[in-house]
């Protein structure tokens, strides 16, 4: 019996689940793990919180679109 909660699943497993059923809920678990890191990088270069938040949103949207087109291999 597998009692793993969705947030306990590692990134690789989440991507495998996403590719198997194309359910965006798996990405909804995965992407927030990187929000603060990406926001920090964007803040470093953009030096404006709203612009940085917009950039993070754009990166995530692009990521979702690209993941649906291509399969990431490990």
Q: Computed from CA positions of residues 26, 13, 30, 58, in that sequence, does the dihedral angle turn out positive or negative?
A: negative
Contact predicate 17/67, CB 8 Å: no
- Reduced to 3 states (helix: H, G, I; strand: E, B; else coil), residue 22 is coil
Specify whether the CB–CB gap between 72 and 32 falls below 8 A: no
Q: d(Cα 36, Cα 41) in Å, to the nearest integer?
A: 9
Smallest Cα–Cα separation from 39: which of 31, 29, 49?
Answer: 49
Output the pLDDT for position 7. 79
Q: Give 74's pLDDT tier (boundaries 50, 70, 90).
A: low
Question: Which tens digit of pLDDT belongs to each residue from 35-52?
Answer: 999 999 999 999 999 999
């Amino acid at each position: 019996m597998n009692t793993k909660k969705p947030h306990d699943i590692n990134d690789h497993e989440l991507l495998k689940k996403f590719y198997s059923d194309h359910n965006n809920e798996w990405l909804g678990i995965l992407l927030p793990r990187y929000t603060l890191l990406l926001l920090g990088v964007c803040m470093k270069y953009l030096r404006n919180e709203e612009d940085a938040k917009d950039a993070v949103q754009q990166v995530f949207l692009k990521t979702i679109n690209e993941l649906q087109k291509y399969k990431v291999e490990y």
